[in-house]
A and B are shown apart, each in its own frame.
Chain A
């Protein structure tokens, strides 16, 4: 159905190299922000246990909002362009990362925190040297979920002038160019699956290295 010729055609006509770069730029920026914010919130609600339930419940509600609707809600605030898309990515990704960080920290076996205390680690050192490293497999699991979310939302960005591969899909559908849709759709899918598998590998490595359960 698709010949190499058509793929090459579509690729150059729709500037797919540039679109892919845009796509990955938005994606990485969103993911990095998500990790920083998500892990921080996870640690915060772990240290202030009373805030954990309200915060997680709130984030759960954010999670149910349709992605496109969320982007649209952010449009008036952040204007057209990559802003709303990246912000939506981050909003979605905070929950899995924060939740997993929190669960990971809470799940560290008491015997280890106990020993850490006994050999003279301060609470801060216990957090940094023992609890966080031991939670890494779970945190990585959360990041992997966030990665999938971000890929999804970044692709939607094409609909609100954020650029990226979604733009190609949008143009393809609007101009009813089947080849363009197929090429861009498959490429976006492959990219996402590849990144997800890669993250899965890292997660497994961490599990072997740091996992105790």
Chain B
């Protein structure tokens, strides 16, 4: 059963003259594109522009009408699709964890089918859960329904990594998450990305995500590739108006000096508030229930700091109180200038701040890496 791996590392993936039609309309038209080994290539573009189709032709979920996809020079048409897919990690927006399997079973499914030994499977599951900051003893035997959206997304990533594939395909993996959660996962993902050092093709709608994560960005429109290149190139040398519009940084940039924190902040919500004397254990459950990864710790009216799910789960003693582990967090006034606030955040290496107005929290400021690059 255990099949030999098709490839251990990716040197390049090449699309040559790829066309895919549905009826009379093109989903992808005459695509020529090379993805280099080890890079993270972003596919971005308007809805229906052919991003998902392009992605799915790599693992043969969709068969092209004409043209070739080669991986390390090997034409994918000549490979058994099941073998091919077991060598490629796949993560999608709605995650699709199987609801009838525990988290452990979800992650261990393909290793099991590949005939791994029980012990080996278990070890792999634990390693992966730790890797995505979910303590195995706490999560392995839960069902997907008992996890928050962010936690499920992490499991989705862990499942994709099960066979240690050299290539990942990710279709809007953070698309369904709210902005703050998305930011947190992106940040973690960036770390993971550097650690695993794999080739990744990543579809997104979010230009900021693209600019932050992408080594190169491919912009698609109406089934065609418009421009591909590193972020700077797209920003400073857009091929046409559409690219300029998608990259959209000009406008923000122009107004940079007039922008205030209140223009950029998201409204403060009570779900982000936890009391200082809450125990770590309870906090984890509560945050899972509230579907949040970050929380602000208050003692009465007073803001003590911030905690993240990842911190809480790394915490040794589960009976500790939040008051002991909350990290101080920056606060700004609504009328502060964005340029000032962002550079403050950048200097301290944080990405979140609370906006306070006369002692009361009114908003959350999430750092905008794109703007930061332009300051």
Contact = CB atoms under 8 A, between A and B. Distances in A.
Direct contact, A vs B (beta carbon within 8 Å): yes
B92 A115 contact: yes
Interface in A130-180: 130, 133-134, 136
B159 interface: yes
B99 interface: yes
Q: How extensive is the interface on chain A, given as a class?
A: 20 to 34
Interface stretch (A31-39, A72-80, A116-124): A116-124
B90 A125 contact: no
B90 to A, nearest CB: 4
A125 B86 CA distance: 13
B135 to A, nearest CB: 24
Q: How extensive is the interface on chain B, given as a class?
A: 20 to 34
- Grouping DSSP codes into helix (H, G, I), strand (E, B) and loop, the A interface class, with mixed when no group exceeds half, is helix
A115 B152 CA distance: 14
Given A121-B82, A122-B82, A111 B96 contact: yes
Interface in B86-140: 86-88, 90, 92, 94, 96, 98-100, 109-110, 113
B141 to A, nearest CB: 13
Contact of A120 (B82, B92, B98, B99): B82
Contacts of B82: 120-122
Nearest to A115: B96
B85 A118 contact: yes
A210 B99 contact: yes
A81 B98 CA distance: 47
Given A111-B94, A129-B109, A120 B86 contact: yes
Contacts of A115: 90, 92, 96, 98
A205 interface: no
Contacts of A210: 99-100
A119 B85 contact: yes
Contacts of B159: 119
B83 interface: yes
Contacts of B85: 117-120
Contacts of A129: 109, 113
Interface string A174-213: 0000000000000000000000000000000000011010
Nearest to A114: B96
Nearest to B156: A115
Nearest to A130: B98
A212 B113 contact: no
A112 B85 CA distance: 15
Contacts, number: 55
- Among B83, B87, B96, B160, the one with the most A-chain Cβ atoms within 10 Å of its Cβ is B96
Nearest to B84: A120
A87 B297 CA distance: 69
A118 B100 contact: no
A16 to B, nearest CB: 42
A206 to B, nearest CB: 9
B61 interface: yes
Nearest to B143: A209
B59 interface: yes
- Among A117, A118, A120, A136, the one with the most B-chain Cβ atoms within 10 Å of its Cβ is A120
Nearest to B96: A115
Closest CB pairs A-B (n = 8)? A115-B96, A120-B85, A120-B86, A118-B90, A210-B100, A111-B96, A212-B99, A133-B100
6 contacts: A115-B98, A118-B92, A120-B83, A121-B82, A134-B98, A134-B99
Interface of B: 59, 61, 82-88, 90, 92, 94, 96, 98-100, 109-110, 113, 159-160
Given A112-B98, A115-B96, A120-B84, 13 more contacts: A111-B94, A112-B99, A114-B92, A116-B98, A118-B61, A119-B86, A119-B160, A120-B82, A120-B87, A120-B88, A121-B110, A125-B113, A209-B100
